[in-house]
């Protein structure tokens, strides 16, 4: 085997990347840097960031066994510029894999699909958690690498010369990618499943190109990838839990994910379907304003029109196997979008977990290019314009939403700084102030101006909404005051806080900012906010 120099190896890799892949990477990276420039060049703490300006990202107790290893790539410090650039690079590579796997070759659609992928509001939610934003990017990268491998396997199975044993290595590699992606952040399992469905539906719809045997082989490959990948993930998680002498916490029902029962499966299925209906019905990323709603309807309509056209032209309805597989795909669709419900019935989906819905728009571009040979030229042109309009509408409005969220984060950060400064100023002016005495901030300070329109707009964006950087008590006040204001204060444990709340002295205290809202109880300086 010839040893290549770094230059030779680099040139070899670049030559193997298709022009479409290069365009997807470059356009996605540039789009991502421009869209998220504000958060990349600013540093604004949220409720978790106040605790994690420096943190060892060991979240094995949440099933994220791989985080501790990948966080070392950018250090254990929360670095907005470094983390932001690495994240955008990861998303750019991920978009390249995804766009290739979904067979998007039109240069305009490649650029718009990449921009939509990185503008989707889930990315903004991810960027709001500066201390771990690159973790989300790496999870997306491995998820899309798995989709790329699935597409490679699908293409190989269509060859007459391929043998099943030739599929062992790519199946294992795809399973490993699935395992690592889930080990970083479990939500990208949905992206993998929905993308696999898109690829499979295309195979179902073209019996002349893909024989029934190929469909069955690809289905077996899917089951093998998901089964082996899930097994790898479970074994890696169990091993990590043992090595780190910890156990799964109850966060969002994670501790119940290792067990499975018929009742749980039925409950999870109902929950997944209900979640999709609620998400489409309520104010969300797919319908937060009329323009995005129009773009969403266009994208969904294009997907349906393209699939129906190809199915009818190829008379798929005459093949019982393909009818059954189509029905199976329809059932799997809502489950794939909200698959975490099948793992835990107690989960509560939030903005970080919604990136899979970007496939509605990218999927429209993919389905259009796939179905082009089945339409007349003028109809193809009309469909292409509709795809472009859909992508432009949603991407532009997501860019606006992203930056509205960033500005709100800046405002709430400044409000939090001002609140903490005012509180500490009052504390320092009390007669018996002692800087060495521990402090307890009890209750929530809820009296603050908030614009109703902003609240309604950003409520569904975790990490970006809220009146201040945090709304909790001592858990966040103490680290925020220490890290931002520079006052070295000591907090109390939650148990000690509960003891202080039960005292008669606390009951008699006034509520901030009234006189008497600060008192020393059992050698602890207590500040009482609204309950």
pLDDT digits (tens, 9 = 90+) for 300-324: 999 999 999 999 999 999 999 999 9
Structure tokens at 430: 């009390």
513 upstream amide cis, omega within 30 of 0: yes
**Residue range 443-495, pLDDT digits in tens:** 877 766 667 777 778 888 888 887 787 765 567 888 888 888 888 889 888 88
Q: Which carries the bigger pLDDT value, residue 186 or residue 450?
A: 186
* 3-state SS track over 376-390: CHHHHHHHHHHHHHH
Say if residue 274's pLDDT is above 90: no
Comparing CA positions, the residue from 487, 530, 494 lying closest to residue 510 is: 530
pLDDT (0 to 100) of residue 95: 97
Q: Do the beta carbons of residue 97 and residue 11 sit within 8 Å?
A: no
Which of 46-50, 109-113, 488-492 ranks highest by mean pLDDT?
109-113
What pairing do the DSSP bridges indicate for beta strands 518-521 and 524-528? antiparallel
CA neighbours closer than 13 Å in the CB half-sphere of residue 530: 7
Instruction: Give the Cα separation of 363 and 368 in Å (integer).
Output: 8
**Could you tell me the pLDDT band of residue 228, with boundaries at 50, 70 and 90?**
very high
Say if residue 259's pLDDT is above 70: no
Q: Do the beta carbons of residue 525 and residue 433 sit within 8 Å?
A: yes
pLDDT (0 to 100) of residue 84: 93
pLDDT (0 to 100) of residue 201: 95
Question: CB-based contacts of 480: which residues, under 8 Å, 6+ apart?
Answer: 45, 50, 416, 420, 469, 470
Give the pLDDT mean for 327-349: 83
pLDDT (0 to 100) of residue 225: 96
435 upstream amide cis, omega within 30 of 0: no
Give the pLDDT mean for 179-189: 93
Say if residue 258's pLDDT is above 80: no
Lowest mean pLDDT among 73-77, 102-106, 229-233, 360-364: 73-77
Task: Write down the mean pLDDT value for the chain.
Answer: 88
pLDDT (0 to 100) of residue 85: 95
Say if residue 252's pLDDT is above 60: no
Query: Which residues are bridge partners to 528 per DSSP?
Result: 442
**Residue range 393-433, pLDDT digits in tens:** 999 999 999 999 999 899 888 888 998 899 999 999 888 88
pLDDT (0 to 100) of residue 257: 53
Say if residue 47's pLDDT is above 80: no
pLDDT (0 to 100) of residue 462: 87
Q: Do the beta carbons of residue 493 and residue 511 sit within 8 Å?
A: no
DSSP state of 482: I
pLDDT (0 to 100) of residue 457: 82
Distances (CA, A) of 217 to 65, 163, 166: 32, 11, 12
| Sign of the CA dihedral running 98, 101, 107, 108 | negative
pTM: 0.90
CA neighbours closer than 13 Å in the CB half-sphere of residue 428: 9
The three-class DSSP label of residue 507 is: helix
pLDDT > 90: percent of the chain = 51
Lowest mean pLDDT among 181-190, 282-291, 517-526: 282-291
**Residue range 190-208, pLDDT digits in tens:** 999 999 999 999 999 999 8
pLDDT (0 to 100) of residue 102: 95
pLDDT (0 to 100) of residue 473: 57
């Amino acid at each position: 085997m010839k040893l290549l120099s770094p230059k030779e190896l680099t040139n070899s890799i670049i030559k193997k990347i298709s022009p479409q892949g290069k365009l997807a990477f470059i356009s996605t990276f540039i789009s991502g840097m421009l869209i998220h420039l504000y958060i990349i060049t600013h540093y604004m703490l949220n409720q978790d960031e106040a605790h994690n300006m420096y943190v060892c990202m060991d979240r094995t107790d949440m099933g994220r066994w791989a985080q501790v290893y990948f966080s070392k790539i950018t250090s254990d410090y929360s670095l907005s510029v470094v983390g932001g650039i690495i994240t955008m690079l990861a998303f750019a590579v991920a978009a390249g894999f995804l766009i290739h796997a979904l067979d998007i070759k039109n240069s305009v659609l490649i650029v718009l699909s990449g921009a939509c992928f990185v503008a989707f509001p889930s990315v903004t939610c991810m960027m709001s958690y500066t201390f771990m934003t690159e973790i989300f990017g790496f999870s997306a990268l491995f998820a899309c690498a798995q989709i790329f491998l699935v597409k490679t396997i699908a293409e190989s199975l269509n060859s007459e010369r391929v043998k099943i044993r030739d599929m062992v290595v790519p199946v294992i590699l795809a399973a490993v990618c699935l395992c690592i992606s889930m080990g970083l952040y479990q939500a990208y399992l949905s992206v993998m499943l929905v993308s696999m469905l898109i690829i499979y539906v295309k195979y179902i719809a073209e019996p002349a190109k893909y024989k029934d045997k190929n469909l069955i082989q690809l289905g077996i490959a899917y089951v093998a990838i998901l089964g082996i990948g899930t097994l790898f993930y479970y074994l890696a998680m169990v091993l990590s839990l043992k090595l780190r002498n910890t156990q799964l916490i109850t966060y969002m029902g994670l501790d119940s994910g290792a067990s499975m029962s018929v009742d749980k499966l039925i409950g999870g299925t109902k929950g997944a379907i209900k979640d999709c209906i609620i998400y489409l019905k309520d104010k969300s990323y797919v319908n937060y304003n009329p323009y995005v709603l129009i773009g969403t309807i266009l994208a969904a309509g294009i997907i349906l029109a393209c699939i129906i056209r190809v199915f009818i032209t190829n008379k798929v309805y005459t093949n019982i196997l393909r009818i059954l597989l189509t029905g199976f795909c329809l059932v799997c669709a809502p489950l794939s979008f909200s698959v975490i419900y099948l793992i835990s019935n107690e989960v509560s989906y939030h903005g970080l977990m919604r990136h899979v819905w970007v496939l509605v728009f990218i999927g429209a571009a993919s389905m259009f290019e796939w179905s082009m040979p089945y339409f007349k030229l003028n109809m193809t042109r009309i469909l292409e314009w509709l795809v472009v309009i859909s992508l432009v509408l949603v991407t532009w409005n997501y860019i606006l939403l992203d930056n509205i969220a960033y500005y709100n984060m800046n405002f709430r950060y400044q409000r939090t700084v001002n609140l903490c400064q005012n509180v500490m100023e009052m504390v320092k002016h009390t007669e018996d102030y002692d800087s060495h005495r521990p402090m307890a901030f009890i209750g929530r300070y809820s009296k603050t101006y908030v614009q109703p329109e902003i609240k309604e707009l950003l409520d569904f964006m975790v990490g970006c909404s809220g009146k201040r950087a945090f709304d909790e008590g001592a858990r966040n006040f103490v680290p925020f005051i220490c890290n931002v204001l520079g006052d070295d204060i000591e907090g109390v444990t939650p148990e000690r806080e509960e003891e202080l709340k039960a005292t008669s002295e606390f009951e008699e205290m006034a509520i901030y900012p009234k006189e008497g809202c600060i008192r020393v109880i059992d050698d602890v300086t207590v500040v009482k906010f609204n309950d």
